[in-house]
Structures are given as structure tokens and as C-alpha cells.
Amino acid sequence: MPRALYELRNDALFIDLARLKLSASPGGMGYSLGLKNMFGLIPEPDRSDYHRNLPQSILDANLIYHALFDVVVVCEGLENVIVYRDDGACKAPWGAYDIEYRHRGLVVVGSNPLEVDAVAASLFGVDISVRALLQEAARFFPAYSEQAVGRARAFGREHGLFL
């Protein structure tokens, strides 16, 4: 952790601001929400060593920052949502994706990163509960509300958000 950030630990609210990025493929592994967003805080110019055990590296970053700060997790799709697809128009080293503007104006906010991620994904009909990252995070963060996830799924279905 950068020293300047560490020195603010008692005087600052930490906002984890993540864009909504999900996979449209059934069982697709590509997604990035609040938990994964914290991976970017590893202060290493080359994070390739941390990719070998990515779920644990992401979780470690979350545990450190959540231990030192009051953290608010925000998953936003205010302007657009990134949707990973095999045939996506945008190509990147980690895969292809589309930028969808039809899902604009979405924000999921909370203090439990596990719940924020599960609710954000459920809005789009995506179940990330089987992902290694969420299963590992469930050992350290409070369980997410199945009722909240169900309401998010119903809202997403009703408003045509499902991928």
C-alpha cells in the first residue's frame, strides 16, 4: 500500500469505484466488479506474478484495504456496461467485449463487497456465486442476502437487463 494512502486510514472513507463488467457467455469467467477492482491497488509496476493465484491476490488486496479503511463499494454502469463476448467488437489481450449503452444509469452500492458483486451480477442474470473469488471471499466477508440477489434478478428480468 502506498504510504500516503496508509497515512489517511483513520481520516478517510475509501470508495471502491468499479465499472460493471460481466460475461454474456454461460459459465464465462470474465467479470470485474468491486472485489476484482481492488487488484489494481497492488503497488507493483508488473502484477504478472500476482496473476498466478488471481483470486487470492484479489482477496488479499480487499482484506488489507477493508481492515484499514471504511470502504464503500460502488459498481457503476452510469454511461455503459462492459460485456465480455467471444465475438465482441472490442479486442483485448484478455478477450473480446462489447460496450453496451442500453444498460446505462445503473449503480449498486454497499459496504459488503461480496453482496455488491452478487447483486450487480444478478441484475444481468449472471450467477457468480460459483466463482472461486466469491467462494473464497465468503470466508472473510458477511454472507450476501439471497433475498437481495433475488430482488436484483427480478428487477433485471423485468427491465430487460439479462445478458
Q: What is the pTM of this model?
A: 0.93
pLDDT tens digits for 80-134?
A: 999 999 999 999 988 899 999 988 899 999 999 999 999 999 999 999 998 889 9
| Strand 70-77, strand 106-110: pairing | antiparallel
* CA nearest neighbour of 35 among 67, 81, 66: 66
How much is the CA Rg of the chain, to the nearest whole Å?
16
pLDDT tens digits for 32-78?
A: 999 999 998 887 767 777 777 888 999 999 999 999 999 999 999 99
